[in-house]
Amino acid sequence: MAGSDRTASAPTAPAPPAAAPDAVKILVAGGFGVGKTTMVGSVSEIAPLRTEEPLTAAGLDVDDLAGIEEKRATTVALDFGRISIGRELVLYLFGTPGQQRFWFMWNDLAIGALGAVVLVDVRRPESSFAAIDFFERRGIPFVVGVNGFHGRHPYPAEAVREALALPAHVQVLLCDARDRASCRDVLVALIDQLIDAAAGAAAP
């Protein structure tokens, strides 16, 4: 309008879109009944995907329930969950099946995985030997989470390391697969290890 001292304001530029967080694939592995499904479920910020089926009499000859007689279901494919570590990092968690008859799936699940958590039940440490060997052979970094069933840890971390014959660079952490904060601490320790390894590889 003529004579008006109003000035047209410049249009406000739209805010730039927030950068998508980095996504990292992590495996949660270990023997049959060590707490993998529980860990993924307790730490996931979304409803976890589970592929559990009831244990039946048909599997009595192939499923070793020694020490876990109370177990009523088993993972037959995978568990899946997601957790955000800060605003810049999202972990996609893939729980592996623990029974030997399903181990053939591990190779496919490991594709694209940057690291792993191997859960150990100190009542049956031998049940996690196969998972440790799997990641060592493929050069996939991993940490060991010692799952304290019923909240008990009868052995210190170093005693577990010695029993599993783990090298010094493999972190052994006491945890409770039922507790979100405890599981998150294990995952953060793994991510810190991956970051340190990447920084070391990039150093001149």
Contacts of 24 (CB under 8 A, 6+ apart): 89, 90, 91, 92, 114, 115, 191, 194
pLDDT value at residue 60: 46
Q: What is the 3-state secondary structure (H, E, C) of 150-169?
A: HHCCCCCHHHHHHHHCCCCC
pTM for the full predicted model: 0.79
Give me the DSSP letters along the chain: -TT----PPPPPPPPPPPPPPEEEEEEEEESTTSSHHHHHHHH-SSPPB--EEE--GGGTTT---TT-TT--EEESS-EEEEEEETTTEEEEEEEPP-SGGGGGGHHHHHTT--EEEEEE-TTSGGGGHHHHHHHHHHT--EEEEEE-GGG---S-HHHHHHHHT--TTS-EEEE-TT-HHHHHHHHHHHHHHHHHHHHHHH--
Q: What is the pLDDT along the chain (204 residues), one digit of tens a residue?
A: 555 555 555 556 565 555 656 899 999 999 888 999 999 999 999 998 876 655 444 444 455 555 544 545 555 558 899 999 888 899 999 999 877 777 788 899 999 999 999 999 988 889 899 999 999 999 999 999 999 987 789 999 999 999 999 999 999 999 999 999 999 999 999 999 999 988 877 777
